[in-house]
Amino acid sequence: MYTKLHDIFADKTGGEVFTCFSAWHFFYIFLVIATVSLTVYLCRDKNRYIKEKVLKCFIAVAFGLYMLDFFLMPFAYGEIDVDKLPFHSCTTMSIMCFLSRNNHSLRKYRLNFALLAFLCNLMYLCYPSGVMSYEIHPLSYRAVQTLLFHSVMVMYGALTLLIDHEKLCLKHWYRDLAILGILTVWATLGNALYSGTADSVGYAHDFNWFFVKQDPFYALPADIARYIAPWLNIVAFFALEILIRWAFDFAQKKTAKKNESAGESVLAEHAVKELV
C-alpha cells in the first residue's frame, strides 16, 4: 500500500518543471484574483452571518491543507519535513487565523492575523522559491500542496480585509507590532531548538524561520546578519501593514464623507419641494 501511495505523492521529475512566472505560476495567481473577486461580488448583499460562514470556510480549507500535509508527507518524501513546523510566518498564521476565527478570546485579533497572513503568503506566492528549488513537475504533490495552501491563505487574508464586518483602520496598529515581535521570538526559539546535527540519527538542519538569522536573499554579511535581520523583518512588515491600514482608513473616510454629502443633498431636495 505504501509503495502505491509513494508513487502518487512523490516528486515527479523530468519533463516540465515549475518556474517563476510560468503558465502554472500565473494560474495560481489568477485563481486567487478570480476567487477573491467572485466571492466579494457574491457576498456584496449578504448579511454578517453569511459572510462569517464564508470566511470560516476559507480558513478551514487552508488549515486543513496544512494539517493534512503532515499525514501525507511520509508518502511523498519518506519522512515528515521538519521545515513545515509552524515557525515560519505563513504556517504560524494559518493556525492563528483559524483560532482567531473560531475562538472568542482571540476574535479581536482576527484582522491583525489576517493582515499579516495576506502579506507573507502573497510574498511567497509571488516568488515561490521553496517550490522552484526542487525543480519538480508543476503537478507534483509538493508543488500543488504548497502553492494551493499559500493561495488559499492569500484568499482568506484578502477576503477578511474586504468583507469582515469589522473594518481595517489605523487604530489597532500596535497589535500588528506586538504580533510581529512575538512571531520573531517564536521563530528564534524554533531556530534554536531544531537547528543542529546528530549523526547517530542522521539529523542535520540549520533553519532560518521567519528569516531572523539571515535575510531571504542572504545579502547581509553573515557575521552581522543575526543582529540586523530580525529588526529588518519587523520594520518591513510593519511598514507594509501601516500602509494597507492607511489605505483602508482613507477609503472608508472618503466613502463616509461621500455618503454624508449625498444625504445632505437629499434633505435639501426635500426642503425645496416642501417650500414649493
Q: Tell me how far apart the alpha carbons of residues 3 and 7 are, in angstroms, rounded to a whole number.
A: 6
What is the pLDDT at residue 261?
65
Q: Tell me how far apart the alpha carbons of residues 107 and 224 are, in angstroms, rounded to a whole number.
A: 38
Task: State whether the Cα torsion 46-52-53-56 is positive or negative.
Answer: positive
pLDDT, one tens digit per residue, over 51-85 is 999 999 999 999 999 999 999 999 999 999 999 99
Task: State whether the Cα torsion 155-158-159-164 is positive or negative.
Answer: positive
Q: Give the pTM.
A: 0.93
pLDDT, one tens digit per residue, over 108-167 is 999 999 999 999 999 999 999 999 999 999 999 999 999 999 999 999 999 999 999 999
What is the pLDDT at residue 267?
54
Instruction: Grade residue 276 by pLDDT with cuts at 50, 70 and 90.
Output: low
Environment class of residue 156 by beta-carbon count within 10 Å: exposed (0-12), middle (13-18) or buried (19+)? buried
264 pLDDT higher than 70: no
Residue 238 grid coordinates: 510593519
Helix (H, G, I), strand (E, B) or coil at 80: coil
275 pLDDT higher than 90: no
What is the pLDDT at residue 58?
98
CA angle 215, 114, 44 (to 5 degrees): 140
Average pLDDT for 22-28:
97
Q: Tell me how far apart the alpha carbons of residues 238 and 241 are, in angstroms, rounded to a whole number.
A: 5
